[in-house]
Amino acid sequence: MAEEEQEEQGEDEQIQAPPPAGSRVNQFVVLVIIVLIGQVALAYMLIDKIVLPKQRVADAEESGEVLPESVESEAEKKIVKTPLLHPLEEILLNPRDEAGIRFLRVKISLEVDNEEVLGVLQESMVKTAQIRELLARTMNNMPFHMLDGPEDRMKLRETLKGIVNESGLLETGEVRAVYFELFILQ
């Protein structure tokens, strides 16, 4: 009987024994190693794909060597074409509304498709004034509820773009987009 009690106590001690302290440390070490391997791989990719091609091109330019196109194309930056924007003066309007008097304060910029049109707009105050008046009349005739939401503003941009393009004021090109630099509706 005494032997059975000792065996049961031995089993209880075995069951209640805490896990070895080294297992958590081992898990942490494995995690640190995985993170370090990831960082090394990322550093290799950055150096191989970005830094070295630029260095090769710079070295070749200094020594006057001609590099294959593949090496040059890796080092080239993507050229982003800047939009051709023409800002219009601020417009203050009273859009239609049955509930009361409303005010719209808006500053518009037009993105045009070529530099010739941009030059015409910058040089000709008459064209700019005609376009500004056309946009002001269009927005002034719109009811308030067609101007107040974000979706409504997107539709308004497309509407204004279409009206300017259909007006014939820009003979050599067209408006690509209309942007609101300021849009306050009260």
pLDDT surpassing 90 at residue 78: no
User: What is the Cα gyration radius of the chain?
Assistant: 35
Instruction: Taking residues 153-180, report their average pLDDT.
Output: 90
User: Quick one: pLDDT band at residue 16, thresholds 50, 70, 90?
Assistant: low
Instruction: Say how far apart CA 104 and CA 90 lie, in whole Å.
Output: 10
Q: What is the pLDDT of residue 97?
A: 79
Q: What is the pLDDT of residue 6?
A: 59
Which of 51-65, 81-95, 138-152 is predicted least confidently?
51-65
136 three-class SS: helix
Q: What is the pLDDT of residue 11?
A: 56
Which tokens in the block code for residue 181? 């630099």
Could you tell me the CA-to-CA distances from 180 to 93, 105, 151 in Å, in that order?
15, 10, 14
Q: What is the pLDDT of residue 10?
A: 57
Q: What is the pLDDT of residues 98-144, one digit of tens each?
A: 877 888 899 999 999 888 888 888 888 888 899 999 999 988 888 88
pLDDT surpassing 70 at residue 150: yes
Instruction: Say how far apart CA 144 and CA 186 lie, in whole Å.
Output: 9
Instruction: Say how far apart CA 67 and CA 129 lie, in whole Å.
Output: 53
Contact 156, 108 (CB under 8 A): no
Instruction: Taking residues 12-31, report their average pLDDT.
Output: 69
pTM reported for the whole predicted model:
0.56
User: 70: Cβ–Cβ under 8 A, 6 or more apart, which residues?
Assistant: none
Q: What is the pLDDT of residue 24?
A: 82
Contact 72, 58 (CB under 8 A): no
DSSP 64: T
Q: What is the pLDDT of residue 158?
A: 93
